[in-house]
Amino acid sequence: MVRKIIGHTYIYLILLLMYIPVLVLIAFSFTEAGNVGEWTGWSWKLYPQLFQNEELMIALGNTLILAVTSALVSVVLGTTGAIGAFYSKRKVRHSIDNVTQIPIVNAEIVMALSLCVMFVFLQTYVFKTNLLSFWTLLIGHVVLSLPFVYISVKPKLEQMDPSLYEAAIDLGAKPHQALWKVIVPEVIPGVLSGFLLAITLSLDDFVITRFTTGSGLLSGDAAIMTLSTYVQGKIKKSNIPTELRALTTIIFLIVVAVVIGTSVYRVYKDKHSKTRAEKRAR
């Protein structure tokens, strides 16, 4: 009993320490005070000001476009890679698993420097033109999130009966039909988890963004500015803009809604699967 109380207290204490900074920012998003810690009265004005800050809106737009695009590319490559590795020979599968683990445990600065050196080499000796742009930034974010999509899809494949694909082929289905109607429905939860994880990794990335960015997107001819680089640039010059407190609140509420929605979907799907299994047993 004592161990249980201590364990629960420790968990709640860690969660409290994790969420206190976020809750503080949310609370001070409802005041116009220039600094966190100063309360000048209840106000909603930071939220309209957020959408009137053109520089911040450009950074937010760039961030969302990059996050969604890199997540979609990572999901396609990661899912197909996981399916291909699952049906490969054991040695090939183990080799792919080991190679996929390297970017996860490797320091992000090493990955960023490697990509930067590669792009500079290509633009200097191969293409002889500036390559740093949205596409190099996209490649960097895909390299960052692709392994996490792979490891999200892989467990769902391992839970699946490997003979389902062969059975579908034997029953007359074409390979692409068996893929979409048998395998993909089984790994959808892993695909969704990988997609959300890829978006999260892209949204808050700074190191790879800083080393691989170029001009393009909503920034025009200027260097692409994301939320992370925008905040870093503002901190170097002055205090963080007060509108970011409102943006933090909105992002946090959206994330909470997505997590709750995903959890409800999983519970519903599990209950639906159990109901179908019971009907079949009868």
Mean pLDDT, to the nearest integer, of 247-266? 84
pLDDT (tens digit per residue) in 34-78: 777 777 778 888 888 888 888 889 999 999 999 999 999 999 999
Mean pLDDT, to the nearest integer, of 218-245? 83
Q: What is the mean pLDDT of the chain?
A: 84
pLDDT on residue 273: 67
Query: Is residue 139 scored above 90 in pLDDT?
Result: yes
Q: Note if the pTM is more than 0.85.
A: no
Residue 153, phi then psi, degrees to nearest 5: -85, -35
Confidence category of residue 279, pLDDT binned at 50, 70, 90? low
Query: Is residue 278 scored above 90 in pLDDT?
Result: no
Between the alpha carbon of residue 218 and those of residues 9, 68, 244, the distances in Å are: 47, 15, 19
Mean pLDDT, to the nearest integer, of 114-136? 88
pLDDT (tens digit per residue) in 8-31: 788 888 888 888 888 888 888 888
The Cα angle at residue 216 between residues 253 and 137, in degrees rounded to 5: 70
